[in-house]
Amino acid sequence: MNILLVGSGGREHALAWKIAQSPLLSRLVIAPGNPGMAAHGEVRPVKATDVEGLVALARETAADLVVIGPEAAVEAGLADALGEAQIPCFGPTRQAGQLESSKAFTKAFCERHGLPTGAYVVCEDAAEAKAALDRFQPPYVVKADGLAAGKGVTVAKTRAEAEAAIDDTLGGRFGSAGARVVIEEFLDGEIGSLFALCDGEHAIVFGHAQDHKRAYDGEQGPNTGGMGTYSPAPLFTAELVERVRSELAEPAFAAIAAEGAPYRGALFVEFMATRDGPKLVEFNVRFGDPECQVLMLRLESDLVPYLMACAEGELDRLPPPVWREESAVCVVMAAEGYPEKPVTGAAIAGAEADFGDKVVVFHAGTSRDADGTLRASGGRVLNVCALGGDLVEARKAAYDAVSRIDLPGGFHRTDIGWRALAR
């Protein structure tokens, strides 16, 4: 089978690593990819949002399946264009993708269909948004409506911080993604990331993990796309997984289909386990990053049949996926200044050493010079991942590898998995 994988981050490197292990694979083409992904397939310089270019690349490489990694490609309408070209695709249409591309759409969607989530207000005007803060208690949650690469969310302890976030968002910090601001009720509890696959009709749970969204240890600092993950997390009891599946994932798939946009691909249900049960924080219309990295390490089953079944409407024919009993941990090594103003260009040493068969270093934001030097080219640079008999062992292996990598000026959190260890 020929597969075209779209994307260039750590999530897509993890997908490429896993797809490349499939006995069903004949050829893996990756666009635009990154230097780490070159070990698993042919990297072609077509941007994830270049819909025309990607459809042409899928035709040229006789792709039997296109796998969409990032939300930007969903929003650009890649699945729609591939559908018109009759090329099987793992990833939702633009219409279904609104579940991530508009926070306001999702909140209204939850309201229409009775999905549990926090109260909210949508505003286009700063004065109106600031007045709306009266309806909420601190901490205030202020979000850009559109896609902002994980940086459009502010959890403000004070009203002054919330008002500054409103001014920032509506003032153009996120471009058109910040044309509207969503103010949300702060949900108290433990946060979780659950993944479900859907083929337009049938759906299955496809793993879960816990992420650390704040930049610094102890859940301090600004929100990021995610600084590290672990799986399994003790939060995910069988009862909670069943509640998230039956109260959030399944109803979302049924409702989006009823609205004329059957969902094909991975849905990332980010929820808060509150005292009143799981409540939706956000839907994302793709695998999580860096949640995907730990899921791929733990997935024992071949990934390719699940990706293909989503595209072909045959998910009901597959057995449930098998997960390794071992724990997986991912530590994100980030560039100096991330997430506000990442400094790029630092020369990285040691990332491509042999760390043994339990450690994998995924590239998230790297580039390679003609002389082979690896450089930081993004905010999140490397994802150092490890498997271990339990969380303690996996964590030790990941941090041992981190200590052997030099990312000048960079930083990482040293407390990934603390919630599980504190139990």
How far is CA 203 from each of CA 23, 309, 316, 358, rounded to the nearest angstrom? 24, 11, 8, 31
Residue 9 as a binder of ligand GLY (CB under 6 A): the answer is no
Q: Which of 13, 68, 65, 60 is nearest to 41 (CA)?
A: 13
Among 93, 210, 284, 377, binds ligand GLY (CB under 6 A): 284
161 sits in which H/E element: helix 159-168
Nearer to ligand GLY, 225 or 342 (CB): 225
CA 191 – CA 112 distance, rounded (Å): 24
- Is the Cβ of residue 168 or residue 291 nearer to ligand GLY in the bound state? 291
DSSP state of 117: B
User: Is 200 or 225 the residue whose CB approaches ligand GLY more closely?
Assistant: 225
Give residue for tokens 């409407």: 313
Calculate the CA 341 to chain-centre distance.
21
Q: Where are the alpha helices (DSSP H) in 259-340?
A: 291-298, 304-312
Count of residues of this chain found to bind ligand GLY when the rule CB under 6 A is applied: 8
Report helix, strand or coil for 320.
coil
Minimum separation from the CB atom of position 62 to ligand GLY (A): 31
Question: Based on CB atoms, which residue is closest to ligand GLY, 145 or 211?
Answer: 211
Which range of residues in 155-163, 284-292, 304-312, 318-326 is near ligand GLY by CB under 6 A?
Answer: 284-292
Per-position x/- string for 222-241, each x denoting binding to ligand GLY as judged by CB under 6 A, each - no binding: ---xx---------------
289 lies in the site for ligand GLY, by CB under 6 A: yes
Which residue in the set 12, 50, 199, 291 belongs to the binding site for ligand GLY (CB under 6 A)? Answer: 291
Distance CA 30, CA 138 (A): 44
Among 32, 69, 150, 365, binds ligand GLY (CB under 6 A): 150
Q: Are 90 and 74 in contact (CB under 8 A)?
A: no
Measure the CA–CA gap between 251 and 262, rounded to whole angstroms: 12
DSSP state of 190: E
What's the min distance (Å) between Cβ of 57 and ligand GLY?
Answer: 25
Residue 211 engages ligand GLY in binding (rule: CB under 6 A): yes
Residues 6 or more apart from 271 whose CB is under 8 A from it? 191, 192, 194, 244, 248, 278, 279, 280, 281
Specify the residue, 97 or 226, whose C-beta has the smaller distance to ligand GLY: 226
For ligand GLY, the closer of residues 70 and 200 by Cβ is 70
For ligand GLY, the closer of residues 132 and 148 by Cβ is 148
Residue numbers of the site for ligand GLY (CB under 6 A)? 150, 211, 225-226, 284, 288-289, 291
